[in-house]
A = this chain, B = another copy of it.
Amino acid sequence: MQKTPAIEQPPTIYDVAQAAGVSIASVSRVLNSHGNPRQETKNRVLRAVAELGFVPDGAARALSARVKEIVGVVFRHVPRADSHEAADGAATEEDESLQFTDLINRGIEVAAQQGGFNLLIGSVDVHGHDARRQVMTMARKCDGVILHDRVLEPEELAQLSRQVPVVTLAGVATDATANVRSDGRSGMGELARHLIHDHGYPTVAYLAGHADSPDNLARRQSLTEETARAGATFVDGPRWQGNYLASGGANAVRNLLAENATLPRAIACANDQTALGVMTQLASAGIDVPGEIAVTGFDDIPVARHLRPQLTTVRQPIHELGAAAFDVLRSMITDRGQHGHEPAERDLVLPTVLVRRQSCGCRAGPETAALTDTVTMASADAEGGT
């Protein structure tokens, strides 16, 4: 029969003003460092604020200051097959973590916090017939929005960007929206050369991500070009279609194996999660990685180095991508409405780096392998490495 203690109405600026014996205008001024309040006034206000534990209401502040100090982040949500706690133990295939997305969001959050902003997070369903409304509603709670890959159709995006500043991630910049991405081509090119020249693999397959993702296309394209240039055989096609999830990679390999297809010497995956699924599937089929088939990823999420063998991959500056997205958005927010104002960079691209570990066929480092990745700057011409 325990009772909940009622929550008191938080104090308002009027309470503070009264306690301090000044006007609400003065309270507002000392709290926001506007004008030059007398020291005496400051003291009285600050004391009252401390005593009452006053913190201004966000909505009221936002309404009158016309700034919410909130940025929205929207990502695409893989629907759960609503099998509560999958009692049979077989995890639903959709029940995956989108680590890359979460890590980017961390990057955004850190930058935002530094800038005095908070993050409003929302995900939209793939079958999002009302994705637009969801995003719109969110947008009206924010000063600007960052959109992950494939959240909105181009027309929806255009409409949204008419009302609020928008930055897309791994998309393409438009008239009204900025975009932040990483230079997948250079990293993938470097990876391809490594596989073909350094390891001498004759055939390389690309286990793709979402077909409509610009990142995916750039990576494939780069791989295609490099293999062609080197005279190696490039393998892809409908059987090699993944979905950026471990299950996508696992399924593709399982099917390939089931139909007794001849597998290539190396499989370059669209991202690390896909590589994870591929490696798991190959292992349970008794195929040695990298001995029989080399496998590589893309992203360099934290678990990559903890896989066995450790995953060779192309590192994206994940944290920095998020931070950059926030910075760009923030400048758009600041400049908003200022016609003809010189815009910030509209298509920011960050460099990627090849990280050679073991799954490509490189030998393990001499000591604690986990701490001695061999990294080469994608743009450097030196061969690098220990």
A positions within 8 Å CB-CB of B: 2-10, 53, 55-60, 62-63, 68-70, 77, 80, 84-85, 87-91, 95-97, 99, 102-103, 105-106, 109-110, 113, 118-123, 133-134, 136-142, 159, 161-165, 175-176, 246, 250, 254, 276-277, 279-281, 283-284, 301-303, 305-308, 317, 319-320, 332, 335-343, 346, 355, 364, 367-375, 377
Given A118-B138, A320-B85, A372-B90, answer yes or no on A306-B246 (Cβ-Cβ < 8 Å).
Answer: yes
Report how far A96 CA is from B368 CA in the complex, Å: 18
Instruction: For A320, give its contact among B84, B161, B277, B364 (CB under 8 Å).
Output: B84
Copies in the complex: 2
Instruction: For A8, give its contact among B162, B340, B355, B377 (CB under 8 Å).
Output: B162
Report how far A277 CA is from B305 CA in the complex, Å: 10
A268 to chain B, nearest CB (A): 18
Interchain CB contact under 8 A, B337 and A7: yes
Interchain CB contact under 8 A, B123 and A109: yes
Report how far A110 CA is from B77 CA in the complex, Å: 9
Interchain CB contact under 8 A, A109 and B121: yes
Interchain CB contact under 8 A, B302 and A280: no
Contacts of A141 in B (CB 8 A): 58-59, 68-70, 118
Across the A-B interface, the 7 shortest Cβ-Cβ residue pairs: A89-B375, A58-B141, A59-B62, A4-B343, A308-B308, A102-B102, A59-B63
Report how far A326 CA is from B306 CA in the complex, Å: 33
Instruction: For A302, give its contact among B6, B246, B281, B374 (CB under 8 Å).
Output: B246
Instruction: For A335, give its contact among B4, B63, B84, B138 (CB under 8 Å).
Output: B4
> Which among A8, A88, A97, A340 has the greatest number of chain B C-beta atoms within 10 A?
A97
Interchain CB contact under 8 A, A159 and B53: yes
Given A119-B122, A303-B276, answer yes or no on A162-B7 (Cβ-Cβ < 8 Å).
Answer: yes
- A310's closest neighbor in chain B, by CB? B280
Interchain CB contact under 8 A, B58 and A60: no
A230 to chain B, nearest CB (A): 26
Contacts of A335 in B (CB 8 A): 4
Instruction: For A341, give its contact among B3, B57, B68, B84 (CB under 8 Å).
Output: B3
- A343's closest neighbor in chain B, by CB? B4
Interchain CB contact under 8 A, B336 and A308: no
Contacts of A165 in B (CB 8 A): 7
Instruction: For A370, give its contact among B59, B284, B364 (CB under 8 Å).
Output: B284
Contacts of A136 in B (CB 8 A): 55
Interchain CB contact under 8 A, A140 and B3: no
A308 to chain B, nearest CB (A): 4
Contacts of A373 in B (CB 8 A): 89-91
Interchain CB contact under 8 A, A60 and B57: no
A126 to chain B, nearest CB (A): 13
